[in-house]
Amino acid sequence: MKKKFHLAWFGNTGPTGWRKPSGALFDWRHADIYLEIARLCERAKFDMVLFADSLAVPAVLGGSRDWSVAHGHHVTQDPAPTIAMMGAVTSSLGLGCTLSSTFYPPFLLARLLSTLDQLTKGRILWNLVTTASNDAAQNFGLDEILEHDARYDRADEYVALCRKLWDSWEPDAVVMDRENNVFADPTKVHEINFEGEHFRCRGPSTVTASPQIHPVISVAGTSPRGQRFAVQHGDMAISHKNSIEDMRNYVVTTREQLAASGRDPMSVKIFFSIKPVIGDTEEQAQEKWAFNLENADVDAGMATLATFMGIDLLKFDIDKPLPRDLHVPGMRGTFQRYLSMPEGTTLREWARDEGLYETYKICGTPDHVADVLEHTVEYTGCDGFHFRPSRGMTDIEYLLEVCTKLIPVLQRRGLVRDEYRGKTLRDHLFEF
């Protein structure tokens, strides 16, 4: 029996595709494009849509934010109100936003997510990040970000506090007894009196127990400490890998760590990033791939890598390999992707690949792409994939291509769902 897998769209709320002529059809600043993305993904029976976020316009590359401003790099709107609007035009699609445990007060974040879960009847995901940017730290009155592992240590306590707040209203606390004028049973609403190293909170939450109680939590930890964090707290892990072997190793390691921690090895759903290049013929697909590679923006790749790792890469020779013992104050998983590339890979080659925004090459007709995804799931043991926007097309164009050309093939093969059978995002995610 074929193993079914899950699908997500992982997009941005910033000016992606603004240079393309078709970008004028949907203005990224307005609701229309996000509502259309939601409708498309629900018709295709995706598990969820989730959005990245940035809390700073970066000034890492060259010590200036001029390049970022000129190119709209990490210019973003808040994803939380965006998914709230998307929830109003869908009934089953999961909706996720990226929120930082380093900068959002935990009481406000727990309250926000509970509210969104109430409004959408249980379809919310928190993409939990610790944030690796000194630029972001300076927007919040700090000089620099905490050290890598210390961010995760603090986030352990943060998640524990959020879970206490979500549990502060028992699921049956609200009785709404109109005859006796009783809204909720006071014995089922609890102060939490949380006292930790980093946080204190009395509680209870001001929001009643939401349909999922705890929103689905997604973690993108790839470094050893980040992976341990995902094993401890995640319902879902998302990762970017360069090869099918890297994917398999990540799945095996994660499952082993889950078992060692006392959790069910299958209790965390593992998704990998993909961006298939799809053509009506193999020749057309290869032409599109070649065009994208030829036009890959090396400067954009350099800016992205510098931002993620927290290192000004302009101080290195772009035509030589990076030092393999490079200290990375930001996202160490990003540098691990470089270390998994062939030894001798130059910074220019890596930046070009990042400019192409592709981590695992999939290129061909819809049937060929379906073959690759089916084999990848069987070989690696992963649970699903999240599509990322294409460099060669606007978000809406690429998503429309995926939904109209690839998804029907996957559904005919019985590899992905053709109907929603649960009510909440957690139902969808753990249906198979």
**pLDDT at 109 exceeding the cut of 90:** yes
- Of the pLDDT bands very low, low, confident and very high (cuts 50, 70, 90), residue 50 is very high
Q: Look at residue 349 in the predicted model and tell me its pLDDT.
A: 87
Query: Which single residue is written with the structure tokens 């005919």?
Result: 412
Q: Look at residue 24 in the predicted model and tell me its pLDDT.
A: 61
Higher pLDDT, 173 or 347: 173
**pLDDT at 392 exceeding the cut of 80:** no
Q: Look at residue 358 in the predicted model and tell me its pLDDT.
A: 67
Q: Look at residue 154 in the predicted model and tell me its pLDDT.
A: 97
**pLDDT at 281 exceeding the cut of 80:** yes
Query: Which of the listed ranges 73-77, 305-309, 365-369 does the model predict with the highest average pLDDT?
Result: 365-369
- Of the pLDDT bands very low, low, confident and very high (cuts 50, 70, 90), residue 307 is confident
Q: Look at residue 357 in the predicted model and tell me its pLDDT.
A: 66
Q: Look at residue 410 in the predicted model and tell me its pLDDT.
A: 98
Spatial CA neighbour of 354 closest among 268, 415, 264, 292: 292
288-303 tens-digit pLDDT? 988 888 888 888 888 8
362-374 tens-digit pLDDT? 999 999 999 999 9
Q: Look at residue 291 in the predicted model and tell me its pLDDT.
A: 87
CB 422 within 8 A of CB 211: no
Cβ burial 343-361 (10 Å sphere, 16+ → b, else e): eeeebebbbbbbbbbbbbb
User: What sign for the dihedral angle of Cα 131, 136, 140, 146?
Assistant: positive
Q: Look at residue 359 in the predicted model and tell me its pLDDT.
A: 65
Other beta carbons within 10 angstroms of residue 5's beta carbon come to 22
Domains along the sequence of the chain with CATH: 6-295+361-429 (3.20.20.30)
Cβ burial 234-267 (10 Å sphere, 16+ → b, else e): bbbbbbbbbebebbbebbeebbebbeeeeeebee
Q: Look at residue 107 in the predicted model and tell me its pLDDT.
A: 98
**pLDDT at 285 exceeding the cut of 80:** yes
Q: Look at residue 22 in the predicted model and tell me its pLDDT.
A: 62
Higher pLDDT, 16 or 13: 13
Would you put residue 367 in left (φ > 0), alpha (ψ -120 to 50) or beta? alpha
* 38 vs 85: CA distance, rounded Å: 9
Query: Which single residue is written with the structure tokens 């090895």?
Result: 265
110-163 tens-digit pLDDT? 999 999 999 999 999 999 999 988 999 999 999 999 998 999 999 999 999 999
**pLDDT at 351 exceeding the cut of 80:** yes
Q: Look at residue 366 in the predicted model and tell me its pLDDT.
A: 98
**pLDDT at 378 exceeding the cut of 80:** yes
**pLDDT at 21 exceeding the cut of 70:** no
Q: Look at residue 318 in the predicted model and tell me its pLDDT.
A: 93
184-240 tens-digit pLDDT? 999 999 999 999 999 999 999 999 999 999 999 999 978 889 999 999 999 999 998
Enter the tokens of residue 106: 């935990």
CB 153 within 8 A of CB 244: no
- Surface-to-core class of residue 49, CB atoms within 10 Å of its CB (0-12 exposed, 13-18 middle, 19+ buried): buried
**pLDDT at 16 exceeding the cut of 80:** no
- Of the pLDDT bands very low, low, confident and very high (cuts 50, 70, 90), residue 417 is very high
Q: Look at residue 1 in the predicted model and tell me its pLDDT.
A: 76
